Structure 1
Amino acid sequence: MTSDTLEQQQELDKRRQADQAYDAIENLIATLQLRPGTPVVESELIARIGLGRTPTREALMRLVAYGLIAQLPRRGLMVSDIQLAEHLDLLEARRALERLIACCSARRATPRQREELLTCAAQMAEAAQREDLERYMRVDQLMDRVNHAACRNRFAVAAVVPMIVQCRRFWYAYRHHGDVAEGALAHQRLAEAIAGGDGESAARASDALIDSLRAFAQQVIA
């Protein structure tokens, strides 16, 4: 292995560890194991997720940028509050981005990505039937990643990811207002439309998914 190849592999390993740290911490926040207002102590997180200081810090920086963690003067890091008043505005912005991503994925996804989307949708339906909320959310996150990779529009993905993260936590916090099976069905229809390569159908399925999230949010806020 050449020195350049070794450096590339080391950089890839670092990026993978940072992604793993991000996934672990985001899951703790999204599932309210770290509740709003909880101080974020780096050493405790490192022990909890089992990863090093550098990937943990990189993950925390991303979560600050996404709004899940607030950086407060003289108080350090703290899990941010859920902003009920702004959530419908967030969904309005997310709708346009998700529609674009769905259309792009329908045109650009590889055969393997189309299969992966269908598999994720089936696993979400199974998790919903079993009322396994943690698995449902993990597969939901995986489906988003496949969809984002398939669309090949990094600017749209960069804009929508913080919104998805906020929506995931909102859903988990108020899940008693929602129908998990309905959510799984909306994801299945989106996966089928993208897998079928029909951009217009994918856009309509994306809108329907956001409609279901909006209806859920309105029940919570009312």
Structure 2
Amino acid sequence: MQNVATEPRGEELSLAERAYRAIRDRLVMLEIRPGAPINEDQLAQALGVGRTPVREALKRLQYERLIATYPRRGTFATDVNITDLAHISEVRQELEPLAAAQAARRATAADRATLTAVRRELEIVDPRRQDATELMHLDLSVHRAIYAATHNPYLEDTLVRHDNLATRIWCLFIDRLSDMAGHVAEHGPLIDAIVSGDPDQAAQLARSHVEGFERAIRGAI
């Protein structure tokens, strides 16, 4: 399994885009801890790029609420605030079903192949052997593949941002969640509905998934 969940893209990525995706996923997975200072030089060295791509990436990440810059203090990873859960879920409960339905309608052969490959990974999930980090990366991969299959860049960007924020909350409570593997495995029927071109079923399953996520987090608090 890949260590970093990435959106399925075929084109050559720019250095700034590579830096953005790498730093974003470190923030999402809390590898860069909430409240931790962001050091441009260290990130540039770790990623093997110059400071300019890192600086461009950080501008995007600030807009996405993953980092914050304070005058005379510097730049920091944003805190994970559980009070944001209701706001994030409110957006996702409306847009996740829409994305699933549109993916079912619009998925190309390449999209279906990507989703089918992720579906195979879901089938071999073993909660006794797979650690939480691997499961989280797989969850991100599923969501991002679905969003890409909508072929609506505005919807995709919006949902990637909100899924990232939801995943940070999930990571914060990961030790208290008893059935992470089951939550991730729920994506199997959703992928099947998209690949088979059933928008109504896909929308219904997506809505149930988001509602189940919020219940699980609230139960863990």
TM-score bin, normalised by smaller chain? 0.7 to 0.9
Q: How does 1:126-145 map to 2 (within 5 A)?
A: 126-127=124-125, 129=127, 130-145=129-144
Query: What number of residue pairs does the alignment pair up?
Result: 209
CA distance in 2, matches of 1:70, 1:125: 39
Letter in 1 for 2:121: Q
Partner residue, 1:31: 29
Q: Normalized against structure 2, the TM-score is what?
A: 0.86
Secondary structure (helix, strand or coil) at the match of 2:36 reads coil
Partner residue, 1:193: 193
Cα gap change, 1:125 to 1:36, in 2 (>3 Å): farther
Structure 1 residue 111 corresponds to structure 2 residue 109:
yes
> Offset of 1:119 from its aligned partner?
1.7
Secondary structure (helix, strand or coil) at the match of 1:86 reads helix
CA distance in 2, matches of 1:31, 1:162: 13
Structure 2 unaligned blocks of 5 or more: 1-10
After superposition, the CA RMSD in angstroms is 1.9
Letter in 2 for 1:157: E
Q: Is the 8 A contact 2:34 2:79 kept in 1?
A: yes
CA distance in 1, matches of 2:126, 2:63: 31
> Offset of 1:132 from its aligned partner?
3.0
Partner residue, 1:4: none
Partner residue, 1:49: 47
> Offset of 1:33 from its aligned partner?
2.2
Q: How does 1:2-81 map to 2 (within 5 A)?
A: 13=12, 15-81=13-79
Cα gap change, 1:24 to 1:138, in 2 (>3 Å): same
Cα gap change, 1:128 to 1:94, in 2 (>3 Å): farther
Q: Is the 8 A contact 1:128 1:180 kept in 2?
A: no
Question: Which protein has the larger Cα radius of gyration, Structure 1 or Structure 2?
Answer: 1
Letter in 2 for 1:69: I
Structure 1 residue 161 corresponds to structure 2 residue 160:
yes
Q: Which has the higher helix share?
A: 1
CA distance in 1, matches of 2:190, 2:198: 10
Cα gap change, 1:139 to 1:18, in 2 (>3 Å): farther
Structure 1 unaligned blocks of 5 or more: 1-11
